[in-house]
Structure 1
């Protein structure tokens, strides 16, 4: 499976049978992982990148950028596996921790050629980590080969000799079959989920999977039968990444993001940098449609995200960077602790940047109990100052 295919809907198979009526087989959207883009510059600035498999789940990402009517200033790579990582290297060399799908984004910062106004355009993709380039030849796909009453036979497609492998079929009730074909009797209209997994042998031990959804009439159903919406987000300072995890049971769909600051994006995965600190309402809207539905199904979910100043340590004692704050969230008391630091000053800021509390311990300090009982619920920034250095921490005050 090529993980760089853009989000799209594959054509479905329509088979008629006088005993069953009709059956439709839809590829699952999860098998067609896509990407997203956030365009802030002239559309002539095209941001893309190629991936090259190095082996052992190592990859090299090579940018493909056309500046259009802009002057490119710099570019930033962002990736997320266990943690969010960023790099300003021209090319991104990355080792993924193992098999799976990982978001990778390339952001290009530029100046408009006419107005010299700064702008940025980002492209994000889900990269399916493979152990070896030979695994690209192992592609899982299947179709319906026959229908006999409630029993439907599926057949593996593609060049089954390209990479030697074992074939496993799995069904929603937990049953499984092996072999290049599989016959199964279904009860009810569906949707019924069928998955095909190919497991290769040494030395690469490649694996490829695909799932599809089977419908056996009628032609109209409720949205709740098809949509299982959801998404995850991760943030670091003013940067937030989003990944849609919804299932639409194979039906066509579009994912829209509203970052709460007037910025919008589309695609299954996206990256956004807030221009100011604060609390934002991040929303994902999922729209799904298809011949099984009489109208478009719409689902919107929102979460609160907090954009904070990134942690920085200027000239001064390196020990300040080791300070932490906890627990987060908290109720009345926050413990600040770290290596012993002299001339420490503590400032607490709300999300508008207004200082709401200040504390200057007498003498050197290695632990401070910060009383936040008088503060309202919400997010705050704690700044630790010492000898020109600044350590920025995030705290969240829970409901009263």
Structure 2
């Protein structure tokens, strides 16, 4: 599935995909319960086809959760530990940028201008932690100068060696960087903790941007945003589980003097749990990824003087990928999609409404052929999506005549919505 409209998200994802109680520092589900609007009535085959198109793409939004900001989260976590992290976010960003030029501009600005500042702050935290490990003391530092070629910047914080807690505050006042020609104003704070055990370790980080503005030439990036990432890894000789969470609340915007993009998060919360286990003889017993998305995100853009916006709200949208059988037949991957999402687009094109997705039979993907060969979903109780063995898809609304589509791309062309940085729904 190619990226649609003007946004690649993130999503990602991503990206992702995202903080449940913002300011809490963790990630993953567990925020305040949200109540979805009533499900939209689907009465015609065209409505059902559009809803089905939205349903398959909503799974991509979950899978791409956090990609746009996930890269910053991964950098922030480096302040706490050198522990391995998935690194999916940057790959998803590249996929989005390649297929969506406007989103590509936004990602380029973020990676060129904002990410290096987060990386410098994380590096200062790493140095402080390395110097004080083993002291079992609380150490304060700063305010120290933050590198600026003109203007000023300062960095201060604390590190508690007994608890592995760290805090940083970076303040910019007309801080000019001759390398990229940018001027930065505003504040960035980072706080987090890390726990290391014999068979498990975990960390969490909260990164807050307050009135942070970076200007270079015609480009401007502004952030008033709190985001958090967290991870937990538990491993043994035959069993490995990792959980990655991302959450965000606030807004970030990008403009290059021609096009502009803003992304606003409303208590967006994404979590992914991966489980891999063997039986001790290298036979895989389970290889499964569970992703959950909750919260809202709104994209707004002005592209060639045309204003468009899209809003998505998720209510425990859960996608589960299972590769276990693939280790036996080198072909089969299964997927389930369950939960509720609401979609709104201005100007209205299609599929605005609220949709409840239930997996009746898991979608079976043939990784050799690259398409789904079995599976059945229900949307809003009366719309049935059947994945056929030849890769085609049949959509039936109540007593209406079935409508056939040649493949997933053909179905999604009925109502293309934002792709969160994933180039394709398929798992290949």
- Is the structural similarity TM-score above 0.5? no
Normalised by the size of structure 2, how large is the TM-score? 0.25
Asked which structure has the greater RCO (Cα within 8 Å, sep 6+), the reply is 2
Normalised by the size of structure 1, how large is the TM-score? 0.26
Structure ranking higher in strand proportion: 1
